Structure 1
Amino acid sequence: MKNTLYPIKFEPILKSKIWGGEKLKNILNKSSQVKNIGESWEISDVEGDTSIIANGELKGNSLKQLLSTFKADLIGEKNYVEFGNTFPLLIKFIDAKEDLSIQLHPNDALAAKRHNSFGKTEMWYVMQADPDAKLIVGFNQPMDSDTYNKHLEEKTLPEILNFDNVKTGDSYFIDGGRVHAIGAGVLLAEIQQTSDITYRVYDWDRVDEAGNRRELHNDLAIEAFNFNMPDNFRVSYSKDENKANLMLNCSYFTTNYLNITTPIIKSNTHDSFLIYMCVAGEITINANGFSTTLKAGETVLIPAALKTVNLITENATLLEVYV
């Protein structure tokens, strides 16, 4: 592997889902012959689903190989001390043609204890939503385990859940232990810890093509719930042009919103990689003498060693992510 770093794009890992649709192909131009594509994993170090580099002289190498070779030059000194040869984030685009299951994720402590894994804290940015499309996040009333279990047993769980109508630009923070689901008609970008642990608690009583229902994880889920969370899951942020607008700063990642209408130079002052997810428009990214184009639905990783990035466009919207 050559010792040159540049803006790195990866081959999308496309996941067929019972609830998936056609927007990842028709709107975000993901190439696949498979139907019902629900997720495009853009950057992944999940075991069994490691991203493969799609551009430049490192094309064909895996993210795992990249990290083990370049170490702190790829992800930053403090990140390499904390995470070693594990990339800390999983980056996705998700298309829900039908409602996803009602679910939650364990926090770090429970995930480490049960699964030898990170927990799964995540955030969503809505890229497109059909009329009356909704997200489920949290409960619509104060909640405790007895009340929750009563509704679960009686199959009236939706009665106590919070449904939000959503539109393009809406953003949500989903920390471990909070119940949630993506509703039918929503296309979104997802940023999360590197983990694929989900506890499914209700799946709308649907069956697959073979007539089988998907597995539920209610015995595992009940201990993972945090019933005392405040309703602070809606992300408010500014949309000033040609600057980084802070959306979310949590223990696991920071996300900024960039609405770019003129070429700008970005300095990476963080001891971290940068990730740019293009959620609208098209942009050319130059760094270290290497140029790559990013269209809506594409993602690029800027190694930590690259401290200056030129963003060239007349109209693009990016999510900028770092740890």
Structure 2
Amino acid sequence: MQSEPLFLESVLHEKIWGGTKLKTDFGFKIPSEHTGEAWLISGHKNGVVTVKNGPFAGLSLAQVWQQQPQLFENNDATQPFPLLVKILDARADLSVQVHPNDAYAKVHAHDLGKTECWYILAAEPGAKLYYGHTAKTQAEFDEMLDQHAWQKLFRTVAVKAGDFVYVPAGTLHALGAGILALETQQSSDVTYRVYDFDRVDETTNTKRALHLADAKAVTTIPAPPAEIINTQDNHQNILPLAHEKYFDVFHWLITDSYAFKKQAPYTLVTIIAGAGKLIIGNNTYSLTKGVSFILPANITTWRIETTTKIEAIASNANQ
């Protein structure tokens, strides 16, 4: 079979905190002015993307994963596609939340756990993340949750475009208002809300549910500090951002031409700035901002060319 990348059609999700930047900044056809997420690369049942090109056009990523395991060097197609890549537009603060690890999620949610990371695409002046908490013991954490002592409990950290933050399962966290971020995560949709700023859902006219018992059970105590990598001064073609249990993540920066060699069974790529060409053998594919694709296992070399500059976030699964 001819070696060909899998270009993907994103799935858009409306959110109470979402806005319009997925349209204005990335050109997506958003369903409303409260669009919070574009699921770019996903085999998860809550937002399975489809292949747009080649012999698998029209099939979902989940179907290709199961039916063509050789494209991923996948020895167990009964397991779900392991990663999910999305862009989030935080017009308002997201709920402060925590995700479980694999063991807890398997028992309580019949899903994978959710370790994730953020690459900050844009941030308005003064934008911040909620990351971690101040409690030193489980008893102190539980008491602050029971008393709704949110200002005392939450830690915040300022961020800017180009920052990268790793968010392991068990970390209390949220994107703050004015942030546009690319998220690479385990393929999971399990979220336990701790605080939602007393917002009322316009559809149901009720506050969204909190999950304090689950949060008490899964939150890491004490919380580790946020470690931020900034890529603004990066001049490397390939800058490693994360080498963790579930994934590796890289920032690609090409200002002319760069030849790549396969380093993993398959590679996930999203273009976050600029435009250029992907060249594989005798075939050339157009790359523009917001395009996402997978380089499957049968592609061992490729080249990206640009007349200006092109940036991408790339990742591969480690499980």
Equivalent in 14, 17, 29 of residue 16 of structure 1? 14
How far did 1:236 drift? 5.7
How far did 1:229 drift? 4.1
- Whether 1:96 and 2:90 are equivalent positions in the alignment is yes
For the Cα contact (< 8 Å) 1:239–1:245, is it kept in 2? no
1:68 is paired with a residue of what secondary structure? helix
Q: Which residue identity lines up with residue 102 of structure 1 in the other structure?
A: V
For the Cα contact (< 8 Å) 2:7–2:292, is it kept in 1? yes
How far did 1:202 drift? 0.8
Distance 2:13 2:31 in 1: 12
Distance 1:224 1:161 in 2: 16
Any idea what the Cα deviations from partners look like across 1:200-253, whole Å, max 9, x if unmatched?
111011101142111111112211111134325423669543521111100100
Residues 35-74 of structure 1: pairs in structure 2 closer than 5 A: 35-72=33-70, 74=71
More displaced stretch, 295-304 vs 147-156 = 147-156
Q: Which residue identity lines up with residue 167 of structure 1 in the other structure?
A: K
Distance 1:128 1:47 in 2: 29
Structure 2: gaps of 5 or more residues: none
1:45 is paired with a residue of what secondary structure? coil
Q: Tell me the equivalent position of 2:164.
A: 171
Residues 88-167 of structure 1: pairs in structure 2 closer than 5 A: 88-139=82-133, 141-167=134-160
For the Cα contact (< 8 Å) 1:16–1:38, is it kept in 2? yes
Query: Size of the alignment, in residue pairs?
Result: 315
For the Cα contact (< 8 Å) 1:136–1:181, is it kept in 2? yes
Q: Tell me the equivalent position of 2:312.
A: 318
The percentage of aligned residue pairs carrying the same residue is: 31
Distance 2:183 2:46 in 1: 20
Distance 2:80 2:283 in 1: 26
- Whether 1:231 and 2:225 are equivalent positions in the alignment is yes
Distance 1:309 1:239 in 2: 26
1:311 is paired with a residue of what secondary structure? strand
More displaced stretch, 281-290 vs 201-210 = 281-290
Q: 1:226 to 1:85 in 2, by over 3 A?
A: closer
Compute the TM-score of the two structures, normalised by the length of structure 2. 0.93
Any idea what the Cα deviations from partners look like across 1:170-215, whole Å, max 9, x if unmatched?
1110001010001000000000001000011110111011421111
Q: Tell me the equivalent position of 1:264.
A: 258
2:152 is paired with a residue of what secondary structure? helix
Compute the TM-score of the two structures, normalised by the length of structure 1. 0.92
Q: Which residue identity lines up with residue 96 of structure 1 in the other structure?
A: A
Residues 204-283 of structure 1: pairs in structure 2 closer than 5 A: 204-209=197-202, 210-235=204-229, 240-241=234-235, 243-270=237-264, 272-283=265-276
Equivalent in 51, 72, 76 of residue 75 of structure 1? 72
Structure 1: gaps of 5 or more residues: none
Q: Which residue identity lines up with residue 303 of structure 1 in the other structure?
A: P
Any idea what the Cα deviations from partners look like across 1:294-319, whole Å, max 9, x if unmatched?
22222111102100111111301111
More displaced stretch, 234-243 vs 172-181 = 234-243
For the Cα contact (< 8 Å) 2:7–2:53, is it kept in 1? yes
1:151 is paired with a residue of what secondary structure? helix
